[in-house]
Amino acid sequence: MLWYQRQLTLPAMSRGFHLVTRQVIEGLPEIRQVDVGLLHVFIMHTSASLTINENADPDVPVDMEMAFNQIAPESLPYVHTMEGPDDMPAHVKATLAGSSVTIPVSGGRLALGTWQGIYLCEHRNRASGRKLMLTLQGRGQER
């Protein structure tokens, strides 16, 4: 059984949904060594989240941002406002989407569906870089 773990720091991104599949794969090249396994991706923040969704149509992240803003608008009478009007809605959105995704690994590749990609969901107007903890476990490829 193989285990790998690495922290990946992504650059600061604007508010919205950003495909990060490539960065995750490049951040843990040991994926190529795993025949059968799981990759767990965990975001180490409370105002951003991770999700898997369609990666082909650029309208999808735009519509996801619009829908999340309707679900958790900044105009609600939040009590937690010390860090600005986008902070508490960011926490709500992060709770809805979640702090991690787990993806099967097969034959040295992420076993995502044809139209699937990993998204970083940035819920703050001005955020710093985000840290992801990548944990890979699995059986090595037969040589």
Q: Nearest CA to 136 among 98, 103, 112, 113?
A: 103
pTM of the predicted structure, to 2 decimals: 0.95
For the beta carbon of residue 95, count every other beta carbon within 10 angstroms: 12
Contact assessment for residue 136 and residue 38, using Cβ atoms and an 8 Å cutoff: yes
The answer on pLDDT for 99 being more than 90 is: yes
Average pLDDT over residues 20-26: 98
Q: How far apart are CA 32 and CA 49, in angstroms?
A: 26
- Residue ranges per structural domain of the chain: 2-137
Q: What is 2-137's CATH number?
A: 2.60.120.460
Mean residue pLDDT across the chain: 97
Within 10 Å of residue 81's Cβ, how many Cβ atoms?
12
What mean pLDDT is predicted for residues 22-44? 98
Give the CA count within 13 Å in the CB-facing half-sphere of 74. Answer: 10
